[in-house]
Every structure is written in C-alpha cells, then in structure tokens.
Structure 1
C-alpha cells in the first residue's frame, strides 16, 4: 500500500479508522475488508474483538496508574500519570466510536471524532514532554512542570480539535476532500512525537544512567509501536481475508499500541528509584542498632534467660555480694533483705538483743 502525503484514501481503504467515514467524500471512505459485526440485542456492534482489547487496555492502564501513584517520591510520577489518564480516555472513547454505539450517521459523531482527534494529538504531546522530564529542565512535580505540561497538552488538543471539526464540517478553509491539516495532526504529528521521545530516552540512558537494561524496554516499546503501524497500514487486508473477517489490522494495531504503552510504563519504572527515606510503603523498615554500647558480652542480666549485658557492666571484680553477681538478695533496710529477715527457716535478727533468735513476731519468752 502506498501512502500519499495529505491523503487518507489509501489509508482508509486499508484500515477502518475513526475519521474515515468523515473524509474523502461526502459518504466517507469505506475499507476494503473489515471485521465482522455482532448483533447484540438488536444492536450491531462493529469491531467486537477490537472492543475487547479496548476494555483490556483500560483495565491495564488503571493498574499501571495505581502502581505509579504508589511510588510517592519517584521522578516524574505526576507527569507520567497524566499520559496514562489521557490514553485511558482515548481507549474509552474508541469503544463508542469503533463499535458503532455512536453511529456514523449521527450528528454527534463528527464532534466525538473531533474530540478523539484532539485527544490523540494531545496524548502524543504529553508523551513528548514526558521524554524531557528526566533532563530536569524544570523540576518534576512542581507547578511549573505540571502546568506547563497541562497547558501544552490543552493547546495541542484545542488546535487538533479545531482542525478536525473544521475539516469534517468544511469551514474555515478546511475541506474533507483535501484533509492536509488533519493528516498532519493525525498521522504525521504522532510519528514525530514518538521518534523524538525514543531518541531523547536513549540519550538519557547513555548520558546519565549507569544501568543499560532500560534500553531493552525502549527497544521492545519501539518494536511494538512499529508493528502496530505495519500491521494496520500494510497487512490489514491480508489479515482480514486470511481470518475470514473475524479480525482485521485494527485489532492488532490496538493490541500492539497497548503493549507499547505498557513498555513506556516498564521503562519509566526501571529508570526511577523511590527515595526510601521519604517513601510510604506497606512494609515496615528493618532497623539494625549499630551502637557498640548495646552490643557487649557481659553476663546475662536477670538470671537465666535474661538479655546479655554489655562488657562494661561486668562487676565481677568489685561486686561479690549483690544479687546481680550471684550473692544473697539485696535489701533496702539495714543491709538485711526480706528473705534474710523472714525466710531461711524463720531465723532472723532479734531486735531485743540476745543474739540470734526467732524472727518476727518477737520471742514469746520476752514479756512486755
């Protein structure tokens, strides 16, 4: 298939894109071969297999967003989350447009297709800007970085939305028979953004990182992105005819684009390391005491089963009578313990003289 600059004729004859019913002619451009429809409750659902991939893409992207948000101190966390949310919106909108839930004959289809066009262009712009976050031209997570990203994406969305709507409605000098502006924002702009992002990340890895493993993520992501374009624009008709219209190139395009987005997440995760000092995690930190004062080799305190006392608590030379070093129990009164006074066979100190006698109560032989 030959692709002409500024023309959707060959592209739409091969692949059933969202904008194809709105360009080329008044009735749009019909693909040569497309996936079978499914009747669900009296409603025809177009591209059913592709819709399943759209749903899977939304689920997987939400999981990736949750994982990114859990890395509280990772570089570029908020910026990359913006990209994933925009990709989720594209997949959600594609379900309604690809499946025919919003019919192409409906008056609102034009506006939803224009919104879809703007989201695609803005999402690639978001990816492009995320490619420069690692270079720290502006500190990530700051208002300058976040609002710069949001405003840039909003500007690209507004321009692309206007170009799409003007082309579909034939006003402001745009025409659906010669959709040059739409071709630039829908076909050329995503390709430029993807190439710049890939090159910038390779430079980032080679110049600032010691680890070379993230290059593998970039290679796989690039391979999936390239495969998506080739399978849809080059082999869609061949696939459709070979599988008897059950699926077409759009199915593999959507699947490969999902895999490439997953590799963007994998690459970002591999080059970011969370600062554990300030992170909030589910696992408790294991603290090891390094104080030498608490790591002695003295006798066990508290008798058998007690903890090991430090060496500077060894009283073997100056303490020979205390309970700590094996002597008799200590006392708080008169140097005599309770065990000495009341125990040991009832013998104790006789406060009334006469040497040793029976302990308290006083000797019954002594009167008052």
Structure 2
C-alpha cells in the first residue's frame, strides 16, 4: 500500500496508472508497482483491457441514459442534465484512449490528450454542480439563460483547465513536471469541492422542498459508490493487482464504481422529476380519455368515476 501524498502525484502514480502518470515527474513518467497485464488485439497491445471493457460498457450505458432523458420531453431540467452525461461520455472516451495505449504515451500528442481529459473531468464536475442549482429555480429550466449559462461557463472552465494543464505538462514558465502542484489541486481539490457542493445542495433541496425523502437514498448510494471506487483505486490497487495475478487492478473497480455513481445521478434526477402528462408524448396511438356521461332523471350530470355524489342520491340511500 502506497500512501496518498498531498500535492504530489508520486504516491498516486506508484499505485495506479492514471492518464497523467506516463508524463509526470520526469519525461519517462512514473510506473506503478503493479498494473493489469496487457492484451494483444489485431497485433496491437491494449493496456488495461478489463478497464477498457468497463469504459466501453460505461459509454453504452450513458447512451441509454441520454436516450431516456431525451424521451422525457417535459421533464424539469432535461436539457441541463443531459449535458452532464455528454461531458461524462467525453471524459470516459478520452480516458479510454489514454489508458489503453491507443494514444501512445511516447507520442507528441499525448500531453494534449491528457490535458483534454483532465479538463473534461473538471468540466463534467462543474456541469453537475450547476445542475444541482436547477432545482432551486434561480432561472427557469430549459430557457436560453439556463442552458447557455451552463454551456458558456463550462466552456470557460474547460479552457482554463486546459491552459494550466498544458503549461504544466509542457513545462512552460514556472510550471514544471517535477512539481505539478496546480494540476494536483485541479485534479483532486477543485473537483472534490464541486462534487461536495452538489451533494449538499441536493440533500437540502430534497429535505426542504420534497415530501418524499427516498431520493436522499439515491444521493447517498451514489456518493458511496464513488468513494469506494476512489479508495480502491488510489489506495488498494496494488493489493488487488497482486491478489488477482495482474489480470485486474484498482482502475477497473474505480471505473466500475464511477459508472454506478453516474447511474445513481440519473436515478436521482429521474426520481425527483415529473413530467407534465398533459403534454407528454407517448407511443400510444390514442391517448385521449373518454368519459361517459350519465344523465339522471332530473337532468343532473354525474361523470363516471367522479368522486362526487348528487344530493338526491344521498337522500335515496346512497
């Protein structure tokens, strides 16, 4: 077990092969003490094959969630939350390219892909944070102000993170690979703070505005999955790798638990979101409800299924 070092990637990169490790600290990178064995596919070596398979599953499951979100035509915050899942897909795809070796670490473009992956990760957390405030109705959901404020601010966050990441990975100015403090702060502290604010805001939203407290369970389950994945990946990866004979390591469980956490975000959003059924689009050809009207002897009209009874019928023994 390697200790998690504050403001340094040394302990992290000695434990798990995240996308930044091959180019951090020194130009030949830092190699973990134990990592998943490679697999050959069509004459090409694929690193972290189990993790890559899980990331492909994550892309497929996220596509399914996006499809279901788009089918809820009148759901609150539909346009806002779908941006989070698109950003998660982009982050997962870039991470898959890097950890699998499809983009070789010795390639001159590897730092650019690594910087994009870190920027997309931070942007994803930022979009999730802003989605946490949609339920408070500071701006009406689905409007241009609500949607474009997320898009523009997320783009600004991505650009800022990309610039600082590239300055660090290329060693420009006072930024250098041997001491990537700012990159560590972005990777762990900034993203951690945004996720913490989102969780707290949603608990406040559910407790303060909803009668049903079951959605809090979705939040806590998602938080639990995420924390378990992070602990297993950054602390126990070497132990798992040794015990599994190098077939899997902590990165596989980290990807799996992150996917479960994202699925709980969808479940939570779905549980607190109700469609306006008057305008909902369904697959049924005829969605009209026909009520047969019953006219009594005194020309009073009572709708079948109505909860009200006529006074004459009450006096007659009803």
Tell me the TM-score normalised to structure 1 length: 0.78
Structure-2 residue corresponding to 1:312: none
Matches within 5 A, 1:313-324: none
Bigger RCO of structures 1 and 2 (CA < 8 A, at least 6 apart): 2
Q: Distance in 1 between matches of 2:297 and 2:251?
A: 71
Pairing 1:221–2:222 present: yes
The Cα of 1:79 is off from its aligned counterpart by 0.5
Structure-1 residue corresponding to 2:245: 244
Q: Distance in 2 between matches of 1:16 and 1:144?
A: 40
The Cα of 1:3 is off from its aligned counterpart by 2.3
Q: Distance in 1 between matches of 2:195 and 2:225?
A: 12
**Alpha-carbon RMSD:** 1.6
Structure-2 residue corresponding to 1:52: 53
After TM superposition, which residue ranges in structure 1, 4 or more long, deviate above 2 angstroms? Answer: 1-5, 283-286, 290-293
The Cα of 1:286 is off from its aligned counterpart by 4.9
Structure-2 residue corresponding to 1:206: 207
Report how many aligned residue pairs link the two structures: 297
Pairing 1:144–2:145 present: yes
Structure 1 stretches of 5 or more lacking a match?
A: 298-368
Tell me the TM-score normalised to structure 2 length: 0.90
The Cα of 1:4 is off from its aligned counterpart by 2.5
Q: CA offsets, 1:230-257, max 9 Å, x none?
A: 1001110000000010000000000000
| Greater Rg by CA | 1
The Cα of 1:296 is off from its aligned counterpart by 7.6
Q: Distance in 2 between matches of 1:213 and 1:272?
A: 13
Structure-2 residue corresponding to 1:127: 128
Structure 2 stretches of 5 or more lacking a match?
A: 299-318
Q: Distance in 2 between matches of 1:140 and 1:296?
A: 51
CA contact (8 A) 2:4 2:235 kept: no
Q: Distance in 1 between matches of 2:110 and 2:5?
A: 26
Structure-1 residue corresponding to 2:33: 32
CA contact (8 A) 2:116 2:162 kept: yes
Q: Secondary structure at the match of 2:168?
A: helix
Q: Distance in 1 between matches of 2:138 and 2:164?
A: 31
Structure-1 residue corresponding to 2:265: 264
The Cα of 1:2 is off from its aligned counterpart by 2.6
Q: Secondary structure at the match of 2:45?
A: strand
Structure-2 residue corresponding to 1:302: none
The Cα of 1:273 is off from its aligned counterpart by 0.3
Q: Distance in 2 between matches of 1:170 and 1:270?
A: 47
Q: CA offsets, 1:113-153, max 9 Å, x none?
A: 11111100100000110111100111111111111001111
Q: CA offsets, 1:37-72, max 9 Å, x none?
A: 011222110000000001100100000001001111
Structure-1 residue corresponding to 2:255: 254
The Cα of 1:292 is off from its aligned counterpart by 3.8
Q: Distance in 2 between matches of 1:189 and 1:277?
A: 42
Q: Secondary structure at the match of 2:179?
A: coil
The Cα of 1:24 is off from its aligned counterpart by 1.2
